[in-house]
Chain A
């Protein structure tokens, strides 16, 4: 989902139209406050991206970005700044602090959309990584040890010996790990933790 934050009706409308022409779903917000309210603790979609106008009444683009950073949403919500002439230094500064990119008006529309798609992909990957991390964190300490040994490519018997537990116990842990990590095979598990 592409979130367009701009005070200009025309800009919001034309960018929504452009995004839709590339098959990208878009939502628009007239100001930063409205967007932050909608964002809340994060969106539940498969990848999000924010097009943020730097110059807006009330809360400007940089302030909105700072707020996202404070909420820890910056990684899941890549921000592309749209700047007018003269606002470039401000955007560069934001870039250094973790913004995804900035485009100076007038911009090449399809290049912008390409970057939007890259941002969406990154957002998706970040979402997956966060999910894997969450599953890893659900493992117990013993399960974590077993997982490390599995990833080292050791057989159940070797693992049982090293940990001083029975083969049967290793198999139970292994089943729990696969279950919690939502994989069926060790190869799949390895791919997830790559």
Chain B
């Protein structure tokens, strides 16, 4: 198979050959026809000449017979014999007998036709005939030509028979009609002066001509034929025409084919480019691609898919389930999903685990879409596989980060709490110190002391010591770090347990704490510590919010409602409310309206509430300020 420019060599050569043959063939045909016609003309001319000669010979023979009779003696019926000659040859104009003196004694002419006045050539001919004693033709004069037969008797010239031919009539009589119809026939003398002409079908065209000299004794005339046919035209017939037409059609179809091939080549080139582009695209993808037929057999994988499962393409393509990358522990899940594939319903998006060839697990996210062929029939499934190890890692990292943030927020809370506790513990400790110091002072005074006085002081000191212990214990409970554990929690008990801590803050800011949570609520399923933290955060925010409120109005109120299996806990303050622009970002981490705030409180609160399947919202308090409310699920009996 030739390639490149050479591919066109053979067709071009063939086309050139065809063109030359198509051009050459009509020319050749014309040549052949021309030659054939010329030959035909020559043959016909010879035939005509033979006919004329035959007629002349017949007349010569008759004249010779008559001359012999005359030579033998007088011929009484000479005149009748001459007439007979005339009758047998229409081409004869006249026949006469001229005696030795030159007198015409017998003639066929109706009138007296004067003997032809002899021309010098004729004289020469006559004398030649005399001398030789043989019959001779005289050179033609005009359309007439004489045949002279000298007659001798006993060696003495006694006269001569003269037959005068009309050459025109000779042509009329001797040339057959079909020949005359196609040719102009002429008789000329040696100098090509036309003596007689027959042109039944018009003058000749001068294309096919033939001249044949007829050597008669004493004279030479030339028979010239000239066909009325013109030269053959180049495309004279259907055959050549159709060949040429077919050749043109062939060329046209070749050109069309050429164009078609060019278009096809261009399309192929574009397709190849597109294929290369797509292949490059598929190879550069980090997303794995996998095509399956309707039986679940893998028909195609891209390099990224091979990278994900750690297997070369030829070990995967053509495989039917179970696949080599299926992890044993998730086999039932695969089988179930594969049964769905065979049934024709595919989960469009799901997460699963693949096992790499080295045994490690890859979490993947798979999107499936039907694979449809050009006729719109579904031929299989195309799946794109995302390796979500990184995302999983990021999620895990984010989760840890969130935990750390919670811990930090807890620490921040604890830091403030510790500072506050130091302040708050000062009170009972200072009181204890004062009571005991006072008591010691009295005892050291040396004077008698009334026991009631000492007893009262010590009693007060004990109460204060217990108060300090209570504070420390509540903090201790709060600080203990542990994993979230959701257990049925009674909100009333929980809030009462927090009362000491909340009141510590509340009193510091001269806020009245009103715990209106009823005692008979069903328990919620919650992690006690997380809910405590949420409540402490919200109550501290509520207390902070009332810094600019008239002290008489500073009330922090807690209450709860039970509805549809959820308990809504409300924390209401009488502060300045939340401006719209703050409300937008209220739950964003690190957003804070407080100069020393970390911006973690509400973010952590919301995370904690959402961990329990609840929501954290806020609304304006009808009496001024804000109500924060969060929901918690009621614990079911079987879990209780």
Interface residues, chain A, CB within 8 Å of chain B?
A: 8, 10-11, 13-15, 17-18, 20-22, 57-58, 84-86, 105-107, 109-110
Contact = CB atoms under 8 A, between A and B. Distances in A.
Contact of B460 (A13, A85, A109): A13
Closest 5 CB pairs of A and B: A14-B434, A109-B437, A21-B438, A21-B441, A18-B438
Interface bracket on B: 20 to 34
Interface in B419-441: 419, 422-423, 426-435, 437-439, 441
Nearest to B510: A57
For B426, B430, B435, B442, which residue has the most chain A Cβ atoms within 10 angstroms? B430
A10 B428 contact: yes
B158 interface: no
Given A14-B435, A57-B510, A8 B441 contact: no
B464 interface: yes
B457 interface: yes
B551 interface: yes
B430 A14 contact: yes
Given A10-B464, A13-B460, 18 more contacts: A10-B460, A14-B430, A14-B435, A14-B438, A17-B457, A18-B438, A18-B441, A21-B437, A21-B439, A21-B442, A22-B438, A57-B551, A84-B426, A105-B426, A105-B430, A106-B429, A106-B433, A107-B430
B434 A15 contact: yes
B426 A85 contact: yes
B431 A14 contact: yes
A22 B441 contact: yes
Interface of B: 419, 422-423, 426-435, 437-439, 441-442, 445, 457, 460, 464, 510, 551
A11 B441 contact: no
Contact of A17 (B428, B430, B434): B434
Contacts of B457: 17
Given A11-B430, A17-B435, A86 B551 contact: no
Contact of A10 (B427, B438, B510): B427
A86 B418 CA distance: 13
Contacts of B430: 11, 14, 105-107
Nearest to B424: A84
A86 B431 contact: no
21 contacts: A10-B431, A10-B460, A10-B464, A11-B434, A14-B431, A14-B435, A14-B464, A17-B434, A17-B435, A17-B457, A21-B437, A21-B445, A58-B551, A84-B423, A85-B419, A86-B423, A105-B426, A105-B430, A106-B429, A107-B433, A109-B433
A4 to B, nearest CB: 11
